[in-house]
C-alpha cells in the first residue's frame, strides 16, 4: 500500500509525501520549501529518495536543492522545462514511467498552466498528482498555454476512474466552489459540496485530495462543453 501525507506550506500550498512501506521508498512531490518536508519525513522515520516535479514554478521546486543536499535524492521533472529547473537529475515526458517500489506512475503531458507541465498517474493505485492543472472545483490559470490545451487536459483527466484520488498543490477549493456556483447555480451536487467545504474550512480542515468523480460532478472546467465555454469560464474566474 502507498501512503500519502499532506504538508501545508507557504500561504496555501500543499507538498505531498508518497511512501511505499514495502520498499521503504519515499517521494516528495512539488516541494515548495525544504524544512517542513524534511521534518515530516524524519518524524515518520522516512528518507526522501526522490522528488517529482510537475512544473517549474518556484512554489513547486523551491525546496529541491536543499532536500537533495540533505538526502542525495534523485529529482525528476518535465523535460520541456529542464532549462528552468536547474536541479533535475532526470527529465521525463508523455508516456514515460517513474517508480516508487513496485508502483508505476505514468507521466502525462498536461500543458496550459505552464508550457511543459506534467502529471504523474499511478493508475493501479488510483492516484494522480496533477500540480496546478486540476484543482478541486477549479483549474490552473493559463499562464503559458491555451484554453484548448486546458480543455483537452480536463477531458483526459475525466476519463480516469471516479475513485481516482487527485492530489493538487493548492487549497483553492472554497473560492473555486463559490465561483462555480455563479456559473452553475442549479447544480445540486455543487451546492452541497460548497456547503461541506465551507464547514470544513471553518473547522480549519483541508479539502484535498479530491476525486475524479467529485470533479466530474462539480468542476465547471471539467464540465465545460467545449473550448469556448472553458475559455469564457476561465476568463471570468481570473477577473473575479
Listed residue (42, 68, 39) closest to 53, CA to CA: 68
Q: Is 132 a catalytic residue?
A: yes
The active-site residue out of 19, 113, 117, 121 is 113
- Please give the Cα distance from 139 to 168 (Å, whole number): 10
Q: Is 55 a catalytic residue?
A: yes
* 8 Å CB contact between 185 and 177: no
The active-site residue out of 20, 30, 55, 125 is 55
CB-based contacts of 31-36 (< 8 A; 24+ apart in sequence) = 31/60, 31/61, 31/62, 31/63, 31/64, 31/67, 32/58, 32/59, 32/60, 32/61, 32/62, 32/63, 33/9, 33/62, 33/63, 34/62, 34/63, 34/65, 34/66, 34/67, 34/70, 35/66, 36/7, 36/9
How far, in whole angstroms, is CA 129 from its chain's centroid?
Answer: 4
Q: Is 97 a catalytic residue?
A: no
Q: Is 60 a catalytic residue?
A: yes
Distances (CA, A) of 235 to 132, 152, 157: 17, 17, 21
Q: Is 59 a catalytic residue?
A: yes
Cell of 197: 467545504
The active-site residue out of 60, 103, 117, 121 is 60
Give the residue numbers annotated as catalytic, written as ranges: 55, 57, 59-60, 113, 132, 170
Amino acid at each position: 500500500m502507498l501512503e500519502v501525507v499532506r504538508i501545508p506550506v507557504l500561504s496555501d500550498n500543499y507538498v505531498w509525501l508518497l511512501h511505499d512501506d514495502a520498499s521503504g521508498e519515499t517521494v516528495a512531490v512539488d516541494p515548495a520549501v525544504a524544512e517542513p518536508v524534511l521534518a515530516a519525513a524524519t518524524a515518520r522515520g522516512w528518507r526522501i529518495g526522490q522528488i517529482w516535479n510537475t512544473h517549474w514554478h518556484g512554489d513547486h521546486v523551491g525546496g529541491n536543492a536543499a532536500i537533495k543536499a540533505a538526502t542525495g535524492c534523485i529529482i525528476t521533472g518535465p523535460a520541456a522545462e529542464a532549462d528552468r529547473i536547474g536541479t533535475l537529475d532526470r527529465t521525463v515526458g508523455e508516456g514515460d514511467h517513474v517508480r516508487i517500489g513496485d508502483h508505476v506512475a505514468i507521466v502525462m503531458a498536461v500543458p496550459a498552466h505552464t508550457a511543459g507541465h506534467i502529471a504523474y498517474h499511478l493508475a493501479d493505485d488510483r492516484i494522480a498528482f496533477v500540480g496546478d492543472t486540476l484543482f478541486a472545483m477549479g483549474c490552473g490559470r493559463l499562464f503559458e498555454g491555451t484554453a484548448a490545451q486546458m480543455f483537452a487536459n480536463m477531458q483526459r483527466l475525466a476519463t480516469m476512474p471516479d475513485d481516482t484520488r487527485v492530489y493538487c498543490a493548492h487549497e483553492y477549493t472554497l473560492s473555486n466552489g463559490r465561483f462555480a456556483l455563479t456559473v452553475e447555480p442549479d447544480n445540486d451536487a455543487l451546492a452541497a459540496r460548497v456547503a461541506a467545504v465551507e464547514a470544513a474550512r471553518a473547522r480549519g480542515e483541508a479539502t484535498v485530495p479530491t476525486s475524479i468523480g467529485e470533479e466530474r460532478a462539480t468542476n465547471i472546467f471539467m464540465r465545460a462543453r467545449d473550448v469556448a465555454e472553458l475559455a469564457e469560464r476561465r476568463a471570468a474566474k481570473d477577473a473575479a
